[in-house]
Structure 1
Amino acid sequence: PIAENVSAQVLQVAKDYSHILFAADSFGKAASPRVAAKLDVAQISEIIKVVSEDTFKRPIYAGAAIATVKSLDPVKVLTVRVTAFDPVGQEGTASIEKIEAVLGTSKVVFLGAEKVESNRPELQSAKIVIAGGRGLANEAEFAEMEQLADKLKAAVGTTRAVVDAGMAPNDWQIGQTGKIIAPELYIGLGISGAIQHIAGIKDAKVIVAVNKDPEAPIFDVADYGLVADAMDVIRQLQTKL
């Protein structure tokens, strides 16, 4: 769906609701500002906790601080960081209503979508994530990390710097401008821990960091840290598994 059309559809029924929520993914971030602007209300982005019907918590400064925000607007338009909330069952009793479709815009046309096929778990839903940084020197070393990930049935991630260098695809990127993840186990190999990347992994249950620089910032958030060369560790784990 096109964000312009979905926002128009939402606005058709918005007057009947006090809260309008979108997931804080690329699509929600495209559609929600349009809804908020048309309703002339402030949007509250990436909430991680509901305090009350008009008060919410959200990260600021790339997750370095948590702001408590209260909205006095009659309609609350929110994007939700889904990794901050535990999944719930599907036994709810909410009713589903059909509404009339609005006429779509002619200014934006959907041309197509390219889906990346992978046998690995999806990055944002995986229980184990292995991520490689600039400590891995080239695509061949990333390929060795991928082999380790496959043995652990893990998803593969990386940092923006690695993506920008062309050593990994965009859909691997974790961080403030990538994907926010919350796996049971995150293993960072050769990742220094820029604040933008840390913002994407802070919700992981266990964080393991491997870096040969003992001063690397990622050790400040890691549950377990190992000062070592990332490739040495990858190859030793390969022989053990």
Structure 2
Amino acid sequence: MPVLVIAEHDGASLKAATLNTIGAAAVIATFTNQPIHVLVAGYGALAAAEAAGRVAGVGKVLLADAAQLADGLAENVEATVLNIAMDYSHILLPATAYGKNIAPRIAARLDVAQISDIISVVAPDTFERPIYAGNAVARVQSNDPVKVVTVRATGFDLAASVGGSASVEEIEATVDAGLSQFVSREVTKLDRPELTSAAVIVSGGRGLGSGENYKAVLEPLADRLGAAMGASRAAVDAGYAPNDSQVGQTGKIVAPELYVAVGISGAIQHLAGMKDSKVIVAINKDAEAPIFSVADYGLVGDLFDCVPSLVRELNA
């Protein structure tokens, strides 16, 4: 039976986490030798469906286009998925707020156990997922006829966004469940890359001392590197940085090519969110800080001297 990926999108294009989820589906497909289908549920979302059809490895795109799906209300998306769920061996969603909202509803209605936040596919029925803030990895096996799985984006490579030529087939959306109502959405426009998809991230911690220092010290470095700006939970709780910049177990899970941690001690919950980064650079005055245990490069010193010196060197 085919593998189904529920796409997260903005109506015009796919979110990056969807490409990672298709990457996970491709691993399953190598075991089962079955095609990958992608469901795009939305309103006026033909462009997103066509984008999904261009993704390498996708065999078919299902488009459910209806007004009641316009805002991605979980109850309406879930009901639409249930119409076709039994045609698939696996239903995959990204482990984002969108996926975490929908997947449990699908699993409950199918009376199966959800498999959450996988980072590896061992076999079609066996997956690995981190537990205890990433300090251990659990191997989970499921005998359920339909496996509902959420995928940690950092665990899988992005599927190529070009190279595919899948057809787009329209399917019927279910009627509005009437259980919830969309009220409003506040969109934050960023001048920098989005945190979870950025190739370079500069993060600050409590060692910066204030929100003013967070901006004054980190922004020149982030500007020079073309980086997104992140923060530790301690920095967010202290009001130095906005909530949506938090990296960690209770924030965003990231795996950029370069992660620069400035004034971050390296609490377990923060390490769980960034330790899969390709290269980690840590700047901290405490030589015993836990962040150095995962860093590829460490600089022990006063961040108020080290970071401006680094910026000057990069600008030289």
- Sort the TM-score into its range (normalised by shorter chain): over 0.9
Instruction: Name the aligned partner's letter for residue 219 of structure 1.
Output: F
CA distance in 2, matches of 1:71, 1:92: 31
Structure 1 residue 234 and structure 2 residue 311: aligned? no
CA distance in 1, matches of 2:207, 2:80: 47
TM-score, normalized by length of structure 1?
Answer: 0.96
Secondary structure in 1 matching 2:281: strand
The superposition leaves residues 35-66 of structure 1 with CA deviations (integer Å, 9 ceiling, x where unpaired) of 11111111111111111111111111111111
Partner of 2:181: 109
Q: RMSD of aligned C-alpha atoms?
A: 1.3
Secondary structure in 2 matching 1:117: coil
| Runs (5+) with no aligned partner, structure 2 | 1-71
CA distance in 1, matches of 2:108, 2:170: 25
1:238 shift after superposition: 2.7
The superposition leaves residues 54-105 of structure 1 with CA deviations (integer Å, 9 ceiling, x where unpaired) of 1111111111111111111111000001121111223235443211111122
CA distance in 2, matches of 1:138, 1:187: 18
Partner of 2:196: 124
The superposition leaves residues 181-233 of structure 1 with CA deviations (integer Å, 9 ceiling, x where unpaired) of 11111000000111111111121100111111111111111111111122221
Secondary structure in 2 matching 1:186: strand
The superposition leaves residues 106-133 of structure 1 with CA deviations (integer Å, 9 ceiling, x where unpaired) of 2311112111111111111111100000
Structure 1 residue 137 and structure 2 residue 209: aligned? yes
Instruction: Name the aligned partner's letter for residue 181 of structure 1.
Output: V
Secondary structure in 2 matching 1:238: helix
Partner of 1:205: 278
Secondary structure in 1 matching 2:150: strand
1:167 shift after superposition: 1.6
1:239 shift after superposition: 2.4
1:50-61 map, 5 Å? 50-61=121-132
In structure 2, relative to structure 1, the CA distance for the partners of 1:52 and 1:93 (3 Å cut) is farther
1:196 counterpart (266, 269, 274)? 269
Partner of 2:101: 30
2:235 counterpart (140, 144, 162)? 162
Instruction: Name the aligned partner's letter for residue 270 of structure 2.
Output: H
The superposition leaves residues 157-179 of structure 1 with CA deviations (integer Å, 9 ceiling, x where unpaired) of 00122212222111111111111
In structure 2, relative to structure 1, the CA distance for the partners of 1:236 and 1:178 (3 Å cut) is same
Partner of 2:219: 146
Partner of 1:8: 79
Partner of 1:71: 142
CA distance in 1, matches of 2:236, 2:74: 26
| Residue-pair matches, total | 241
| Runs (5+) with no aligned partner, structure 1 | none
CA distance in 1, matches of 2:177, 2:240: 38
2:247 counterpart (166, 169, 174)? 174
In structure 2, relative to structure 1, the CA distance for the partners of 1:93 and 1:76 (3 Å cut) is farther
Identity %: 59
Instruction: Name the aligned partner's letter for residue 80 of structure 1.
Output: V
> What stretches of structure 1 move > 4 A for 4+ residues in a row?
none
CA distance in 1, matches of 2:270, 2:168: 38
CA distance in 1, matches of 2:79, 2:244: 29
Secondary structure in 1 matching 2:84: helix
TM-score, normalized by length of structure 2?
Answer: 0.74
Instruction: Name the aligned partner's letter for residue 132 of structure 1.
Output: G
CA distance in 2, matches of 1:211, 1:117: 31
Secondary structure in 2 matching 1:135: helix
Q: Return the structure number with greater helix share.
A: 2
